[in-house]
Amino acid sequence: MSKYFITQRISIDSDSIEEYFIRASGPGGQNVNKVSSAVELRFDMAISGLPELVINRLQEIAASRINNKGILVIQAQRFRDQPLNRQDAFERLVELIRSATFIPKKRKPTKATYASKQRRLDGKSKRSMVKSHAADLSFRKGSNAIL
């Protein structure tokens, strides 16, 4: 059982990763029908050895890629070469786990400043004046006034 180090403190067991080689979709001629160049990487978070906080954060970030058994599935078919797709899938897994180690800052709700409230109210009153003056013009009301 070997370990892959994600950060200095976090590592994952190689037993928690399974690789499957599948046929890639898309154009490619006869080669795409014969060669299994795409890689499907399955990462079992339950036996991975990751801290609970990182697993919870990973479930938030990659919810659409996690199946009902709690396994994270990554498909890589960007390249026509199997080793490159394998490396790409592993790099994407590492990047996902690294992003799950960072906890986002909580948003502090801000209040509108006094000046911004005043600008909004001034704009409303100006628009109100424009509309009230437009309503006063008799020729706009459909009367037969001569200009």
Half-sphere exposure of 48 (CA within 13 A, CB side): 26
Closest alpha carbon to 17 in 92, 81, 98, 78: 92
Integer Cα distance of 72 and 20 in angstroms: 13
Per-residue model confidence as pLDDT tens for the chain (147 residues): 677 788 888 888 778 889 999 988 877 777 777 888 899 999 998 888 888 888 899 999 988 999 999 899 999 999 888 899 999 999 999 999 999 888 888 999 999 999 999 999 999 999 998 888 877 665 555 555 555
Integer Cα distance of 90 and 83 in angstroms: 11
Q: Centre a 10 Å sphere on the Cβ of residue 82 and count the other Cβ atoms it contains.
A: 17
Domains of the chain and any CATH numbers:
3-101 (3.30.160.20)
Closest alpha carbon to 90 in 102, 105, 106, 72: 72
